[in-house]
Amino acid sequence: MGTTLAVILVFVFLGLVVGAMYNSLVRRRNEVDNAWSQIDVQLKRRLDLIPNLVETVKGYAAHEKTALEAVIAARNSGMAASANPHAQASADNAMTGALRQLFALSESYPELKANQGFVSLQEELANTESRIAYARQFYGDAVSTFNTAIQKFPTVLLAGMFGFSARDFFEAEDAARVVPEVKFS
């Protein structure tokens, strides 16, 4: 009777340990998903600002069609990008480059730089870029914690059995790591 009780207690203890490890992996996976959704929200916020920015610039620099088309194409690419870090990073890189071109264009048009609507949109984009940078950092931290957890022993055994797999980091190209410069003169 004592041996049976000891075996039952060992199995109960192992069940509790496995349950705690599983719950920890689920919590970390959900943290990664939440962090990704924060990036997605900020990228969509930036994409929503683009049409207003393009319309404002059109009024002052209508003949600068190439820069405006690049921004529109980058926005469309961002809207169509699948919800994975690699596709979003690629679309984000294109958007960053197009915005950089657009802000460089504004240097040639002093009346555009003086337009309150344009200035407000630049401020909103600068704030959004800061939020995107923070969301990326939060996501990277969550991915790192999750990936480390599923690779550590003994959790690696449980992670494999239940299909937990490593998540990708959101990596921008070197050129896209620079926040677009916003100047008010």
Residue 171, pLDDT score: 76
- The tens digit of pLDDT for each residue in 1-23 reads 789 999 999 999 999 999 999 99
pTM, entire model = 0.73
pLDDT of residue 174: 55
Give percent of the chain above pLDDT 70.
91
String of DSSP letters for 32-90: HHHHHHHHHHHHHHHHHHHHHHHHHHHHH-TT-HHHHHHHHHHHHHHHH--SSHHHHHH
| Residues in CB range of 31: below 8 A, 6 or more apart | 142, 145, 146
Q: pLDDT value at position 172?
A: 65
Superfamily holding 2-177 = LemA-like domain (1.20.1440.20)
Return the structure tokens found at 159.
């992670």
The average pLDDT across 109-120 equals: 79
Higher pLDDT, 107 or 122: 122
pLDDT value at position 62? Answer: 66
**Of the candidate ranges 8-22, 60-74, 89-103, the one whose mean pLDDT is the lowest:** 60-74
Distance CA 148, CA 129 (A): 28
CB atoms within 10 A of CB 157: 11
Which two tokens mark 37? Answer: 């959704």
Range 121-146 average pLDDT: 92
